[in-house]
Amino acid sequence: MTKLGVLALAGPDFGGTYQYTLAMLQALRHTRGFAVTLYGDPDNPDFRQTGYPIIPFAESRARQLVALAAARLQIGLPDPFAAQDILLAPIYSLMLLHTLRPFAYTLHDLQERYYPENFNGAQRAWRHQVHAQLLKRTQRVICESNHVKRDIVRFFGVPEARATVLPAPPQQQFLAPLDEAALRAVRDRLQLPERFLFYPAQFWPHKNHLRLVAAFREVANDVPDLKLVLTGKKRDDYEMVMRAVATLGLSGHVLHLGYVAQDDLRAIYALASALVMPSLFESISIPVYEAFEIGTPVAASNVLAIPEQVGDAGMLFDPTSVPAMRDAMMKVIDPAVAAQLAARGRQRMAQMTPERYGAGLQSLLESL
């Protein structure tokens, strides 16, 4: 057995990278020949549920700064992963700069290259240095789309053969059907409207909530019984978005649920008229895959990696255009269009099983 250390550093507050980490851990069940040990939070119930042994490990920003500075100065630090044969990191760890073990890590996106205004100078410099140093050392860099692979090759000069595209499917919980009684219970408990569009996202600037709300006002004028349901913690641009909701007279049409547990999330997708994904930047959109899996029609941005992900299974629109977003939302709630898109989404997900993802991981890990 090859001893495989998995650096599970993302937590529930990390948004999509946490869901990605859990999907990768589930897919490792479909690999063979590896004795897996997690490095992460031993109190995390999702990690404990995997059954893998967990070694307590965390990287504070201070620890990361020390690790990065030491690497730049060519000063070696003690290797915390010396007991393993190979390493896999679903999110970067700077202690990887101080190990002799072969490793692969996932570079999720290079958003700072496209929207530098979303980052201050220190953040942009940090993100560049982190990936510049790790990419010098990693045997393989994982990404979830060809778009991100092209970025890695273009901006860092990484040979194409060292960049592996491995999109992760939704977690297996989304494969289990929900009966009508369970759906009714979630609808009643969360006070969900009969008809609604769903957008699960943190209130970060690139998630484009303000244009979505402006477009939805026009939709609500034509379809007054249709509501908009949002999730995400009350931070970042939350207050600004809620002020816009009030200013536009949409307080009775927009419902914010906050953080939502996985079982409830699955039910919300199933109850939603459609998923709307107006993000200005996504390396890959986990909600799009989740909606496809459930059979919820999708309207999504036509930018960067999203068209590659969606193909003909969703309604694409220009996320910088309020009229284009409004038109897409009106089309996706048409019953005939919705049924066609739902069928195409399920067909697309039939090619993205945990077993197939596990086979991709198997090949990657063997190459280490």
- Extract the tokens encoding 49: 């549920």
Q: Which of 14-28, 107-121, 169-183, 301-315 is predicted with the least confidence, judged by mean pLDDT?
A: 169-183
Residues 6+ positions from 227 with CB-CB distance below 8 Å: 193, 195, 196, 197, 253, 254, 255
User: What local confidence, expressed as pLDDT, does residue 172 receive?
Assistant: 67
- Average pLDDT score over residue span 198-213: 95
User: What local confidence, expressed as pLDDT, does residue 178 receive?
Assistant: 80
**What tens digit of pLDDT does each residue of 266-309 get?**
999 999 999 999 999 888 888 999 999 999 999 999 998 899 89
pTM attached to this predicted model: 0.82
Res 174 pLDDT > 70: no
Residue 120 CB neighbours (<10 A): 10
Res 139 pLDDT > 90: yes
- Average pLDDT score over residue span 239-260: 95
Q: Which of 142-156, 189-203, 344-358 is predicted with the least confidence, judged by mean pLDDT?
A: 344-358
Question: CATH 3.40.50.2000 occupies which residues in the chain?
Answer: 2-169+353-367, 172-349
Whether domain 172-349 has CATH 3.30.2390.10: no
Res 173 pLDDT > 80: no
Edge-to-edge strand list for the sheet holding 226-231: 254-256, 226-231, 195-200, 274-277, 298-301, 315-317
- Average pLDDT score over residue span 137-142: 97
Q: How confident is the model at residue 37 (pLDDT cuts 50, 70, 90)?
A: very high
User: What local confidence, expressed as pLDDT, does residue 8 receive?
Assistant: 97
334 CB-contact burial (10 Å; exposed 0-12 / middle 13-18 / buried 19+) = middle
d(CA 150, CA 156): 10
* Residue of 267, 273, 320, 262 lying closest to 299 (CA atoms): 273
CATH class of 2-169+353-367: alpha beta
Q: How confident is the model at residue 366 (pLDDT cuts 50, 70, 90)?
A: very high
Q: How confident is the model at residue 314 (pLDDT cuts 50, 70, 90)?
A: very high
d(CA 21, CA 84): 19
- Extract the tokens encoding 352: 């993205």
CA 265 to chain centre: 14
